[in-house]
Amino acid sequence: MARRLHWNPAIGIVATGVFAAAVAIAFPLILNAASELAGQNPVAPASGTPVNQKEGVALELGKTIERELSAGQRHAYLITVPGGQVMRLEIRDHGTDVGVVLTSPSGESILPWQPVGERFDVKPVTAVADTPGVFRVEVYASSIAPAGRYEIRLAELRPANDDDRALQEARNLMTIYHRLRNQGHWAEAGPYIKRITEIRERVLGQDNLLFATTLGFLSNYYDNIGDYANAETVALRAVKIKEKLLGPDHPDVAHDLHALSVTYRYRGEDDKAEAVQQRALTILEKAHQGESAAAAGELEGLGTIYYARGNYRQAEDYAQRARAIWEKLLGANHYHIAPSFSFLGRVAYDQGDYPKAEEMFQRALMLSENALGLDNLNITRYRNDLAMLYCTEGNYASGEAIYGQALALHRQKGVMGDRVVQDTLFGLARCYAAQGNTAEALNLQSEAGEIEERFLAVNLAAGSEREKEAFLESLSSRSWRNISLHVQSAPDDPTALNLAVTTVLRSKGRVQDAMSASLSALRQRFGKDDQKVLDQMNDVTSRLASLVLSGPQKSPAEEYQQKIKALEEQREALEDDVSRRSAGFYRASKPVTLAAVQAVIPADVALVEFAVYHPFDPRSANEKKSYGKARYVAYVLRHQGAVQWSELGEADGVDRAIGKLRGALRDPQRKDVWRLARALDKLVMQPVRFLAGDATHLLISPDGELNLVPFEALVDQRGNYQTQNYSISYLTTGRDLLRMQVKRDSKSGPVVVADPLYGEPGAATVATAGPVHLKLPASAARHRSATVAEDLSDVYFAPLRGTEQEAQVIRSLFPDAQVLTGEQATKSALNRVVAPRILHIATHGFFLEGPASGEAPDSTKLQAASGRRARVKLRIENPLLRSGLALAGANLSKGGSGEGILTALEASNLDLWGTKLVVLSACETGVGEVRDGEGVYGLRRSFFLAGAETLVMSLWAVSDQVTRETMTAYYAGLKQGLGRGEALRRAQLAMLKRKGREHPFYWASFIQSGDWTGLDGKK
C-alpha cells in the first residue's frame, strides 16, 4: 500500500492561516533541505551556524522588494527583530515558484516553503524572537523552474503577545515533529503533533486554515501508526473546514481530499478512495492545476486503485501520466520519480515480466538511496520490492541480503511498529521458508503477527462492519501463510503449531466480535447521547429494510438504488459512531493467546477449530499462483496437553459432500442419508474423534460450508450418530470461551413471541406501534405458505396455530414469562424488549437467495415453499436483508411498511445483552450467506451481535408438530436444570428413539450455539 507524508510549509505559515500545506502525495516523501534539493539547489545553512549579517539585503517594515529569480538562483535577506517581538513576512510569486529557507538568529533552519510546482499567491512566514537577533531568509528556485519575478515584504513587526508565543511554541514543536517523523520515530512524534494541534485549535479556533492544515499532519500521523479510523475522522474534519472557508472547489480542498483517499486505500475502501480522488483531480483541473504536484499525486493514487483491482492497463496509464508531471516539475532523476518506477515495477511483477520489474525496482531504489541516504527508513519499501522479486525468481541470497539490510536498519533505529516492517518480516520469512530454514521463518512470522495484532486492535475499534470486513480481507493471506508454514513446512514443530492455532483463534469471527463488543459496551454505558445514536441506527435500519423488501414500486430503478445507497451510508456512519464511542472498551481487551483459551476449556470438553486456508508455496515462480486451492484443517484443543491437528483435504471435495448430505437431511423420504452422513464423517470427523481422546463434549467452531452442517447427524464407523456419542455445541470461534467468562445480567423475565396474526392482504393497515387490529378469515387457515410472485408484496404467511400451544407449554414451565401472540406479536413489541432472560420466537422464518451472476441486485424472484416458512428468493445484495422473521401484519407489509417483517439486519439492533437464551423456533434460522473466517451472515450472526449468550436455531424446514415436540422437551430439560446444550441433545435422543422419527430430518434440524451451560451458568 502507498503512504503519504505532508511536506513542511505549515511550520512557518502565518497565524491567520491564509494558505495550507503543499500537496500530500501517496508515496513516502522526506523533504528536508539537504535531500530534497541535493544536486539542484544550494542547501540551507547547517543548523547551529549563526547568521552572517553581511550576506543579505536588509528588509524594512512595510517596504516591498520586487526581483527576478532564475533557475538555480538564490537571494538572501536579513530581518532584525527586537527581543520579544513577532515578525510576519509575505512572499508573492509572479510567474515562478520560489522556495524559502528561514534561519533563526541561533542558526536553526527550517523550510517553510519549497518549489514543487504549486502556485500560491502569497507565501507567509512568521516567527517570534525570544532575544534580539537577525533572521535570515533565503528565496530560491529549483534548477528547472522558469524565470520569473517575486515580491518580498516585511508585513508586520510588533510586540509578541501570549498567543504569538503559543504559536511560536507550536512552530518549534513542529520542527521536532518533522525530525522525528523523518527518522521514522512515529511513536515519539505523536505527542508533539497532538500538542501542536491543541495549541492551534485553542489560539486560532476551529474555523482556521492553519488549524485545518495541522489536522492534515495529525491525520498523516494516524495513518503511519496504522490508526486509520482516527486518520479518517481527522481528515474529514480538515476537508470540512477548508470547504467552509475556501469553497468546495478550491485547490487546497483537493489536497486534503487526497489525504482522505489514502486513508481509504489503507482500509481497503477502494471505491470510496476512487470517488474522493476523482473529485480532487476534477477540482485541480478546473483550477488549471492539472499538471501540478497535487495532480500527480491524484493520478498515482488512482493508479494504485486500478492496480489493486487487477486493471493493469489503466493502472499503468495513470502512473505514466503522473511520472510525466513529476519529470516536468522536478527533472527525470528526482526522488519524487521513485514511486512511479516502483509502481510500474509492481505492475510488471504481477504480470510476470520480471526483467522489466527488476529494472523498475532498481531505478526506484537508486533514486531513493541517492536522495535520502542508505540509512533512511523511508527507502525500506523500495528495498522490499526488489527483495521480493529476487525471492520470487529463486535468487534467495540476494533477496535475503536486501531484506536483512532493511530489517537491521529498523532494529537499529528501534522502529518496528510500521506496517512496512511487517512486509519486510513476511518477505524475509518467505526467503527462509523457500530455502528450508523453517525455524527462522517461524521467528519472523511470529514477530510480524504480534505487530499486526496490535495494528488490528486499533483499526477494528472503529469503523462500520463493511469497513472492518474490507480491512481484514486485505490481511487474510498472512493468516494463510502462518497455517501453511505449519501444515506444509513444519508439521512436527510445536512453535509452528502454536503460531497456526493462535492465528486461527485470533482471526476467525473477528468482525462479529468487534461489532458485538462495540454494541455491548455502549449498552452497558448507555448515556443519553448513546441512546440517541442507537435509536437513530434502529430507525435507519428499519427504513432500509422496508425499502429493500418492498422493492422499487413505481420509482425508477436508478432513483430506487440511490435511496438504498443513501440509507446504507447513513447506517454505516452510525455503526462507525457506535464503534468510536466504545473504542476504549474494545481496545482494553486482552490479546488472545492459546494458553488463555486452553485455560477455560473444561476437562471433559474438546474444542475443535476448523479453518479454511489457501496453502502458500514460498518457492512459487509466479506470485499470483503461489496460493493454492482452499483446504480444510482441524485443530483440537483440550484443557491440558499439546494441540492435536489434522489436515482434512481440499475444500471442494468436503463442500460437495456437505451439499449432498444437506439435500438428504431436508427430505425425510431420502434413504441415502445414512450413507452420505457416513461419507462426510470420514472426511471431517473421523480424524477429529481420534484426536479428541476421552472428551464427552465437543465444541465445534466451524468454517466455510461446515457452518451449515449439523455434526450431530454425522455417522461414525460403528454406525452411530454423533449425538449418541457426544454433547455438541457450536461457537463462532474458540475465542468465544473468553467472552463467556464475563457475567451478563438479564433485565427482565422470559418473553415468548408466538402465533403472530399475519393478517389477510387488504384487510387492514398495520400500525407503526402497538397491536395490529386484524381479522383472520376462516379460509386463511387452508392457505399454504407457498407463493410464486414477483416481489415481497405477493408472499403469503399461513397461520401457525400450533405455536400458541408451544407458548403455553413454555409459560407453564416458566410462569413469569410474558407471552405475545396474535395481534400482540409485533415487531414494535419485540423492539421494546430489553435483555429478557429467555427470548423465544415461534413464527415463520425465511432465507432469501443472493443475486444470481449477471442479475441486477434489485430484481426479484420468489420460489414456492412449504411447511413452517415462506422461503422467498429475493435478489438483493446485503445478506442480512435476505433472512428474517415474520411477525404480526407480515402479510400486510406492502408499500414500504415493513412492520410485520423483522430482517436479520434489524434483529442485530435488538438489546439482548444479558439474554441467556434465544430460541428461533422457525425454519432455516441458522442458514444464510457463508463467508470463510466470519461464519454465516444471517439471523444467527444478528442475534449474537444483539448480545445473546446462546442461540438455538434451525438448518432446514420441519413440520409445526415436530418443532412443538422438540421445544416442549427442550424447555422441560431446561426447567430440570439441564444445560442449554444438553437439554437439546436429550430432546434429540428422545425423538431419535421414536418409531418413524429416526431420520435426522426430524431431530437434527435445531442446533445450539454459544454458551452450553445451564441458565444459571452452571454445567
Percent of the chain whose predicted confidence (pLDDT) is above 90? 51
**Which residue did the predictor score with more confidence, 504 or 554?**
504
Mean pLDDT over residues 117-142, rounded? 84
Mean pLDDT value across the chain: 82
pLDDT in tens, 835-885: 999 999 999 887 766 544 334 443 333 333 334 444 343 456 677 777 788
Best mean pLDDT range from 290-299, 445-454, 705-714, 875-884? 705-714
- Find the DSSP H helices in 836-949: 904-907, 939-945
pLDDT at 18: 23
More reliable by pLDDT, 259 or 517: 259
| HEC per residue, 437-455 | CHHHHHHHHHHHHHHHHHH
Q: Is the pLDDT of residue 653 over 70?
A: yes
What are the residues facing 110 on neighbouring strands? 102
Mean pLDDT on 94-99: 82
Report d(CA 956, CA 907) in Å as an integer: 20
Query: Nearest CA to 845 among 783, 771, 902?
Result: 902
Residue 535's pLDDT is 75
Give residue 266's pLDDT.
Answer: 83
Indicate the pLDDT class of residue 802, thresholds 50, 70 and 90: confident
Would the pLDDT of 43 be above 50?
A: no
Contact 956, 1004 (CB under 8 A): no
Give residues with Cβ within 8 angstroms of 832, minimum separation 6. none
Higher pLDDT, 65 or 930: 65
Q: Whole-angstrom Cα distance, residue 159 to residue 861?
A: 77
Distance CA 626, CA 477 (A): 11
How many angstroms separate the CA atoms of 640 and 649, rounded? 27
- Rounded to an integer, what distance in angstroms lies between the CA atom of residue 364 and that of residue 642? 48
Q: 541 or 411, which is more confident?
A: 411
* Confidence (pLDDT) at 404: 95
Q: For residue 919, which of 797, 814, 848, 997 has the smallest C-alpha distance?
A: 814
Residue 129 is predicted with a pLDDT of 92
**1005 touches 991 (CB < 8 A):** no
Answer whether residue 9 shows pLDDT above 60: no
| Residue 985: band (very low, low, confident or very high) from pLDDT cuts 50, 70, 90 | very high
pLDDT in tens, 520-535: 666 665 566 777 777 7
What count of Cα atoms within 13 Å lies in the side-chain half-sphere of residue 187? 6
The mean pLDDT of 78-90, rounded to a whole number, is: 94
- Max avg pLDDT among 225-239, 443-457, 986-1000: 986-1000
Would the pLDDT of 808 be above 90?
yes
Q: How confident is residue 778, by pLDDT bands cut at 50, 70 and 90?
A: very low
C-alpha cell at position 321: 501520466
Mean pLDDT of 737-764: 84
Q: 34 pLDDT band (50/70/90 cuts)?
A: very low
CA distance 478 to 425: 11
- Asked if residue 464 has pLDDT above 90, the reply is no
C-alpha–C-alpha distance, residues 800 and 287, integer Å: 67
Q: Would you call 563 exposed, middle or buried from its count of C-beta atoms within 10 A (0-12, 13-18, 19+)?
A: middle
311's enclosing H/E stretch is none
Q: Who wins on pLDDT, 934 or 416?
A: 416
Residue in this structure with the C-alpha cell 474529514, named with its chain if needed: 236
Q: What is the pLDDT of residues 325-337, one digit of tens each?
A: 988 888 888 888 8
pLDDT at residue 130, rounded to an integer? 86
Comparing 84 with 553, the larger pLDDT belongs to: 84
**Packing angle between helix 528-550 and helix 557-581, nearest 10 degrees?**
160
Q: What is the mean pLDDT of residues 499-503?
A: 94
pLDDT(207) > 60: yes
Q: What is the pLDDT of residue 772?
A: 44
pLDDT higher than threshold 90 for residue 455: no
Between residues 220 and 471, which one has the greater pLDDT?
220
The dihedral over CA atoms of 66, 68, 71, 73, expressed in degrees to the nearest 10, equals -70
What's the first-to-final CA gap in the chain, in angstroms?
A: 49
Instruction: Look at 141-145, 201-205, 213-217, 397-401 and tell me which has the smallest mean pLDDT.
Output: 141-145
Q: What is the predicted pLDDT for the residue at 582?
A: 61
Alpha carbon distance 287, 13 (integer Å) = 23
On whether the CB atoms of residues 87 and 157 are closer than 8 A, the answer is: yes
Pairing of strands 950-954, 1006-1010: antiparallel
In this predicted structure, the answer to whether residue 655 has a pLDDT above a threshold of 90 is yes
pLDDT for residue 452 is more than 60: yes
In the predicted structure, residue 395 carries a pLDDT above the cut 80 = yes
Least confident interval from 104-113, 889-898, 916-925: 889-898
Three-class secondary structure assignment of 605-634: EEEEEEEEECCECCCCCCHHHCECCCEEEE
**Confidence at residue 678, expressed as pLDDT on a 0 to 100 scale:** 97
**Higher-confidence residue: 586 or 913?**
913
- Check residue 636 and give its pLDDT: 98
pLDDT-derived band at 580 (thresholds 50, 70, 90) equals: low
pLDDT of 723 strictly over 70: yes
What pLDDT sits at residue 119?
56
The alpha carbon of 221 is separated from its chain's Cα centroid by a whole number of angstroms, namely: 19
pLDDT of residue 621: 77
Q: How deeply is 652 buried, as exposed, middle or buried, from its count of CB atoms within 10 A (0-12, 13-18, 19+)? A: exposed
Does pLDDT of 50 surpass 90? no
The answer on pLDDT for 751 being more than 90 is yes
* pLDDT band, residue 456 (cuts 50/70/90): confident
Least confident of 417-421, 487-491, 640-644: 417-421
> Is a pLDDT exceeding 80 seen at residue 496?
yes
Cell of 709: 452442517
pLDDT of residue 812: 94
Q: How many CA atoms lie within 13 A of 386 on its CB side?
A: 24
Read off the pTM: 0.78
